[in-house]
Amino acid sequence: MYIVAKDGSGDFTSIQAAIDAIPMGNRAPTIVLVRMETYQERVIVNKDNVRIIGEARDRTIITHSGCAKDLNEEGQEKGTFLSYTFLVTGNNVEVENITIRNDAGDGRQVGQAVAVYAAGDRGTWRNVKMIACQDTLFCGPTMPKVARDALPRIIPEGVSSVGDCPPVWGRQYFEDCYIQGDVDFIFGPYRCWFENCTLFMNKRGGYYTAANTPEAMPHGMVFHRCRLTGECEAGAAYLGRPWRAYARTVFLHCDMDACVSPQGFQDWGEKPVTERCGEYATTGARADQSTRHPGQCRLTDEQAALLTLPEVIGGYDHWDPRHRTPTWFLCGDSTMCDYAPHEAPRTGWGQALKSLVSGVFVENCAMSGRSSKSFVAEKRLGMVELCLRKGDKLLIQFGHNDEKPDVERATAARVTYPEYLGMYIDAAREQGAEPILLTSIARRHFDENGQLKHTHGDYPQAMRDLAVQRGVKLIDMEKATEELLQTLGDEPSKRLFNWQEKGHPNYPDGEQDNTHLCLEGAVRLAQIALKLLKEAGVY
């Protein structure tokens, strides 16, 4: 997880810097968490498998003022496709809980001014505000003009204009979004599903949509259970107009207030409205179909029943953004966390866990030196909570640093320690995720008789008792690792920990570490954790 905060309290101070730091080719999504602030920057998401989450939608704002009439280096107008605030060319990109604006102003003065340019495939947008005037949201391929901005993305062969977009490209899903504009403010050739979104027409009035659906594509834009409203005069907002001859736009079970034109759709010059544009079961002040454009379709029950999300955007890979791959979020200390290459072979067991699971993503949020208390104080739990969704798991393992005497980290085993652990349990459950408690792994400390010493005091038992009290599954890593170390014995168990001879590239003075694991130990303990998780019915 990367945290973006303008005040320097995160990993980066700009969103683009965080995107640039994401390595190419990640299988699991990289989470970019954006703290509440206004970020005046243009953002290009050119990586696959990225999840961008704002701390609070109306207070986490990305804004830019690019417009079509801006001039390039040659003194020519840049045009629509270089006016964007937020460009996505990567696949499997999710954007949540954030506001994206283009503040260039009225299109009569500045021309088109795109807020969001969604060019990738399998894009998911949840609770996102998109605000502009003319051409707010474009869902279509990366245009040649944008090639330099999109690097290292390569422009698909054969695409020189929006009309060249083949039917198999580009699907976008929008849920609980707010999209504001005036002229053609949702436009493009991609297959898009809008679920429970609000479309807000500016005072100028205009067209909610301008689809450019390829002739061979059976589906274009589908709006399901959306609300069409605005601040324009009554009747000044049209459902859309056909950007190209085969525009496909359908409104299902949508509520339309008085700002919507009684005519519904409108012709665009010589491009007439056809039966590929239509409505079904719309409600509100403008639901009367008797005044609609004669060319648009009044869908039958049978036709509407066939317009499902899997049919419209499912595609060859049966994509369904409503069914997310669950994520395991790991909250813990240095025995669990990830380590950089220059610290190898030290490895957290949570770091090793990522390679051992399938069908789930592992987001290791554990941090070295943290206790259950300091992890909360640094607002790290709050950041994790923003990312949790129904079906996720929150794995909680603290204790090593709760035992420390310093006030920033110390908790009392039978008092404040369970109180802090309760915060993690509550955070998970409030988001529909499952909390799972894990006792600390054992340290490698043997007495003179070769018996392993217990070094965690009452903390593991306090966690066991809390698990019973709160009805939480418990993974007893202390017991399992004690049994492993005792079986191996004093000397052989060294190979599980970060014991290094002098002259090691990363530890030139040597290392005798009985707390932190090496790669072999991390893998071994991750395997034990996974076995216990399976036995508990978690995996």
Q: Which residues are catalytic?
A: 334, 501, 516
Measured between alpha carbons, how far is residue 33 from residues 20, 98, 100, 187 in Å?
Answer: 14, 10, 15, 28
φ, ψ of residue 537 in degrees (nearest 5): 80, 15
One-letter amino acid identity for 249?
T
Q: Which residue has the tokens 């795109």?
A: 114
- List the beta strands (DSSP E) in 182-292: 186-188, 191-195, 198-201, 206-207, 209-211, 221-224, 227-230, 237-238, 249-252, 255-256, 277-280
One-letter amino acid identity for 293?
H
User: DSSP letter string over 415-462?
Assistant: THHHHHHHHHHHHHHHTTPEEEEEPPPPP--B-TTSPBPP-STTHHHH
Query: Which tokens go with 386?
Result: 């923003």
Q: Which residue has the tokens 């290009």?
A: 44
Query: Which tokens go with 7?
Result: 């005040």
- List the beta strands (DSSP E) in 132-188: 137-139, 171-175, 178-181, 186-188
Q: Which residues of 146-155 are buried (b: 16+ CB within 10 A; e: fewer)?
A: beebbeebeb
Cβ atoms of residues 33 and 53 within 8 Å: yes
243-246: long-range pairs with CB below 8 Å, 24+: 243/162, 243/184, 243/187, 243/210, 243/211, 243/212, 243/268, 243/271, 244/163, 244/189, 244/211, 244/212, 244/213, 244/271, 245/215, 245/271, 245/274, 246/213, 246/214, 246/215, 246/217, 246/274, 246/276
**Rounded to the nearest 5 degrees, what angle is found at the Cα of 503, between the Cα atoms of 497 and 508?**
75
The helix (H) or strand (E) run that includes residue 148 is helix 147-150
Q: Determine how many CB atoms are found less than 10 A away from the CB of residue 127.
A: 17
Do strands 30-34 and 2-4 pair parallel, antiparallel, or not at all (unpaired)? parallel
